[in-house]
Structure 1
Amino acid sequence: MPIFLFLLLSGLVLIYINVSAVAPGRKGKLVALGVLVAIFAGMSLRGTLAGSIVVSFFSVWLCQALLFYIPWGIFRLVRRSVIRRPMRANTVLVASRVLLAATVAVTLSLIAYGVPHNARYVLHETTVELPATVAGDSAAPANFTAVFFSDVHVDPLFDRAKLERMIADVDSIKPDYLLFGGDLADVPTGTLDEWGYDSLFKKLTAGAKVAAVAINGNHEGMQEHPGSDPGAWMRKVGFVFLDDATECIGPVCFTGRTDFQVARRRDMERRPLAELSPTDSSRPWILLDHQPKGIEDGYSGRLPDFAFSGHTHNGQFFPGNFVIHLMWRLVYGEGVLDGVPWLVSAGVDCWGPPVRVGTDADMWVVHFIVK
């Protein structure tokens, strides 16, 4: 988090310096200050439609602006070190205006493509083989199907039609389990009720034949405050909410981890995985952990048979969909982390701008087959 804040502040300083150059003297500084004020005002009004629109635009624009301004800044520094005199003021003025216009044009293009693209999601289907040693009671069904989704991020810009399609898909698939990987909403739970999402999520969870299981994500930590309890809300709409807890439901045992940032905001440590390992070793053990960081260091007990995560959004839009691979061992899709077969969803929606470029929103249908 300190590194992220340092990078953010450094980026904002770079933005201020370059935007202030679009007009001479005090006028340029006022323009740059206005941009920064708009950014922080949008963040503080994130729960409103106007605030969400402002945050969406500037989230995309900041990324594109830095792609232009960083090389421009490097060029100016190198030129100054070689020529040893400043660039002409009029040249800087014209270049700054061209760069600003270019960043805005690129941003609007990404939004024009990315918003309708994000309105759809891809329904992936895969089969996972489990070892026969976890077949469980022969009287219980050995094979089962789960629908996994993550990162809904309900906010004023969220498209209700997407949730209605999810309800229809789950009703059609009729999975044994519906699994949610965290980051439900960016508004308080009372607002979710006001907007009617309680009834919609009750319809969604009712589509699971055995149980709907959920965990928290880092954004749940932001919504944990007096008058807003995301965990209680998820239980109210029909989820079995696991907060650093394990519960065996039907032929499967599930462990739901408390998100790292939620634990930090609560000023607590996550429970050791050894304390959460199910005592019934005959049933498959499925792990839900919002951030795909793998198994904790030093753990030497039984490994989960499969794990699910979200959080990464697969980078969401350019250039994030390239940079994200520098940050995570497993960014998206099926893989293995610390010896555990793992699946990372790109999320059924987005945080901030509802923009997808180079990535797809998704939901996963996983058929578990005991061999």
Structure 2
Amino acid sequence: MFIFLFILLAGLALIYINVSAVAPGKKGKLVALGVLVAIFAGMSFRDTLAGSAVVAFTSVWLCQALLVYIPWGIFRVVRRIVRRAPMEAGMLMRVSRGLLAFTVALTAGLFLYGVPHNSEYKLIEARVELPARYFAEPQAGDASDANDSTQVGDAPDTLAKPEAVAVVEPRAFTAVFFSDIHVDPLFDRAKLERMITHVDSIAPDYLLFGGDLADVPTPKLDEWGYDSLFKTLTSKAKIAAVAINGNHEGMQERPGSDPDSWMRKVGFVMLDDSSACIGPACFTGRTDFQVARHRDIDRLPLATIAPRDTTRPWILLDHQPKGIEPEYSGRLPDYALSGHTHNGQFFPGNIVINFVWRLAFGEGVLDGVRWLVSAGVDCWGPPVRVGTDADMWVLHFVAGGR
């Protein structure tokens, strides 16, 4: 956290130094100060259309500006050391104006391409082979575990109980997984409507959501009519819609905004460091790290919330793909799902992201667990995709070997 804060402050200082050079004296300082004020004002009014637009533009511009200003700053320092004299004021002002114009034009170009690109998303299908033992006929002693719809860590009112049956029929199942929808004033409502149409056509057994619902308080979601849209979306799951919180839920947890309760209200089974076995599969949903920090609690050990039922596949949902906690030594999940990374979203993030996360996108293995990381069905801040694709995954869980 402190490293991130230091990098942010250093970046803003570099922006101020370079922008202030576009005009002489106090005029340049006022221009640079105006840029910084606009950045913080946009963040303060993030719930409004104007604030979201400012955040969107400045987020992309800051990335491009730093890519230009860092080498320019190094050049200026080296030049001064070699020549033992500062750059002539007129030349510095002309170059600074040119660099500012270039970065603004580059940002505008990224928006012209990236906004339409982000309005679409890819439907990616994947076959997930599970151990064949899950698909064997249930034994006489399996019935009690098969009906256990609430597991360790669940609050009594967390789940809507499925109808009791003698045993769970072993069978293949399908899930649609999406993450990071980030509803805000710039969100394209038509995208959610297309998602509903796609999920309806797929008719999955499960709808799985990997966290980061919105960047506005939940009363705004109701005001804008997203409650009815999400209720329609969750109703398309034949067995259950299952959700977890993400780091942006930690930002939104405040008086008047309760993202977890809102997701329950619209039909999600909300797993918050808890597990549930519903139908042919068991799910564990982790509390996001930032949500835990906001609540001033520790995440529960995985061993205490893992499902007791070992006759059904175990699927783990954890917003940030950090892997399994090092001290855990029990049975491993059969499959895990995350989001959060956005696969870097736009240049240069789509390159840097691979140095930040062990698995930044797609299918792989983390700590011995098969893991899938979604690039997100939408974006935080700027609705811009360059070098990455928004996605929604269709997962076919079938019998495999071992």
TM-score tier, shorter chain, comes to over 0.9
1:148 to 2:177 alignment: yes
Aligned partner of 2:12 in structure 1 is 12
In structure 2, the residue matched to 1:279 is 308
Map of 1:181 onto structure 2: 210
Q: Distance in 2 between matches of 1:93 and 1:28?
A: 9
TM-score computed with the length of structure 2 as normaliser: 0.91
* Match runs of 1:35-114 below 5 Å: 35-114=35-114
User: Residues 314-364 of structure 1: CA distance to partner in whole angstroms, max 9, x if unpaired?
Assistant: 000000000111100000000000000000000000000000000000000
> In structure 1, how many angstroms separate the alpha carbons of the residues matched to 2:44 and 2:197?
35
CA positional deviation for 1:136: 6.1
Partner residue, 2:232: 203
Rounded to whole Å, the distance in 1 between the matches of 2:4 and 2:302 is 28
Which letter maps to 2:276? Answer: E
Give the conservation status (yes or no) of the 8 Å contact 2:243–2:268: yes
2:174–2:205 contact (8 Å) kept in structure 1: yes
| Structure 2: distance between partners of 1:131 and 1:8 | 46
SS at match of 2:275: strand
Counterpart AA for 1:332: F
Give 3-state SS (helix, strand or coil) of 1:31's partner. helix
Moved beyond 2 Å, runs of 4+: 133-139
For residues 222 and 289 of structure 1, what CA distance do their matches in structure 2 show?
17
CA distance, structure 1, for counterparts of residue 265 and residue 78 of structure 2: 60
Q: In the aligned structure 2, how far is the partner of 1:329 from the partner of 1:135? A: 32
Please name the residue that 2:165 is paired with. none
**Matched-pair contact (CA < 8 Å) for 1:309–1:345:** yes
Cα displacement (A) at 1:295: 0.3
Does the aligned pair in 2 maintain the 1:117–1:356 contact within 8 Å?
yes
Q: Give the superposed CA RMSD.
A: 0.8
Question: What is the deviation of 1:293?
Answer: 0.2
Aligned letter for 2:233?
A: L
How much does 1:133 deviate? 2.7
Partners of 2:45 and 2:51 within 8 A in 1: yes
- Aligned with residue 377 of structure 2, among 321, 325, 348: 348
Residue in 1 that maps onto 2:319: 290
Contact in 2 for aligned 1:20/1:32 (Cα 8 Å): yes
Deviation, 1:303, is 0.2
For 1:232, the equivalent position in structure 2 comes to: 261
Matching residue of 2:392: 363
Give 2:331's aligned residue.
302
1:9 to 1:136, Cα distance in 2 relative to 1, 3 A: farther
Task: Report the Cα distance in structure 2 between the residues aligned to 1:111 and 1:30, rounded to whole angstroms.
Answer: 27
**Does structure 2 conserve the Cα–Cα contact (< 8 Å) formed by 1:317 and 1:359?**
yes
Asked if the contact 2:134/2:170 (under 8 Å) is kept, the reply is: no
- Give CA-to-partner distance per residue, 1:86-107, whole Å, 9 cap, x none: 1111110111000000000100
Superposition TM-score, scaled by structure 1 size: 0.99
Q: How far off its partner does 1:137 sit? A: 5.0
Q: Which amino acid aligns with 2:392?
A: M
Change (3 A) 1:225 1:137: farther
Aligned partners of 2:137, 2:50: CA distance in 1, in Å?
55
Q: Does residue 252 of the first structure (1) align with residue 276 of the second (2)?
A: no
C-alpha change, 1:136 and 1:353, in structure 2 (3 Å) is: farther
Number of residue-to-residue matches in the alignment = 371
Q: Do 1:183 and 1:220's aligned partners in 2 also have CA atoms closer than 8 Å?
A: yes
CA deviations 1:8-52 (Å, max 9, x no partner) are 111000000000000000000000000000000000000000000
Contact 1:61 1:103 in 2 (8 A): yes
| Larger mean Cα displacement after TM superposition, 1-10 or 235-244 | 1-10
Provide the C-alpha distance between the structure 2 equivalents of 1:240 and 1:137, rounded to a whole number of angstroms: 27
Distance 1:232 1:136 in 2: 37
Q: How does 1:207-218 map onto structure 2 within 5 Å? A: 207-218=236-247
* Partner residue in 1 for 2:219: 190
- Please state if 1:320 is matched with 2:349: yes
- Which stretches in structure 2 are left out of the alignment for 5+ residues? 139-167
Cα displacement (A) at 1:84: 1.1
Cα deviation, residue 80, structure 1: 1.1
| Partner Cα separation in structure 1 for residue 53 and residue 255 of structure 2 | 26
CA displacement at 1:110 relative to structure 2: 0.2
- Deviation, 1:251, is 1.1
CA distance in 1, matches of 2:293, 2:373: 23
* Structure 1 partner of 2:188: 159
Match of 2:293 in 1: 264
